Amino acid sequence: AQSVTQLGSHVSVSEGALVLLRCNYSSSVPPYLFWYVQYPNQGLQLLLKYTTGATLVKGINGFEAEFKKSETSFHLTKPSAHMSDAAEYFCAVTPMNTGFQKLVFGTGTRLLVSP
């Protein structure tokens, strides 16, 4: 079975500051890992994903995440926050061996960006 833990339901940063959103996962088989972003009253949009290969993955809007197997983590970072980054972010996992996506989501982290 898979599960995802996102530490912090809300994270507040100032514009220009580093963004760090934490995600830890549990999976009995090698996982695929994803970060999705949700803007108000919208569906979810893929930010980035880890499948195989390079453990540091880059996504849209300057975000990146690093897969650390030893720490079972997939934290999301951005060097400099922008006001437009304010949204809710979801980490998700799916097992590598099912052949399709049964995404298990974390509870989400709302990013607040102040001027």
Partner 1 sequence: NAGVTQTPKFQVLKTGQSMTLQCAQDMNHEYMSWYRQDPGMGLRLIHYSVGAGITDQGEVPNGYNVSRSTTEDFPLRLLSAAPSQTSVYFCASSYVTGDTEAFFGQGTRLTVV
Least distance to partner 1 from the beta carbon of 74, Å? 14
Least distance to partner 1 from the beta carbon of 105, Å? 4
12 forms bridges with which residues in the sheet?
Answer: 112
Our CB check for partner 1 shows the closer of 15 and 72 to be: 72
Our CB check for partner 1 shows the closer of 12 and 42 to be: 42
Tokens of 66: 């690093």
Number of alpha carbons in the 13 Å side-chain half-sphere of residue 94: 14
Least distance to partner 1 from the beta carbon of 60, Å? 11
**CA dihedral angle for residue 73, residue 39, residue 2, residue 62, rounded to 10 degrees:** -30
Our CB check for partner 1 shows the closer of 43 and 115 to be: 43
CB atoms within 10 A of CB 94: 18
User: Which 3 state secondary structure label does DSSP give 9?
Assistant: coil
| Binding residues vs partner 1 (CB under 8 A) | 4, 9, 32, 36, 41-46, 49, 51-52, 90, 94-108
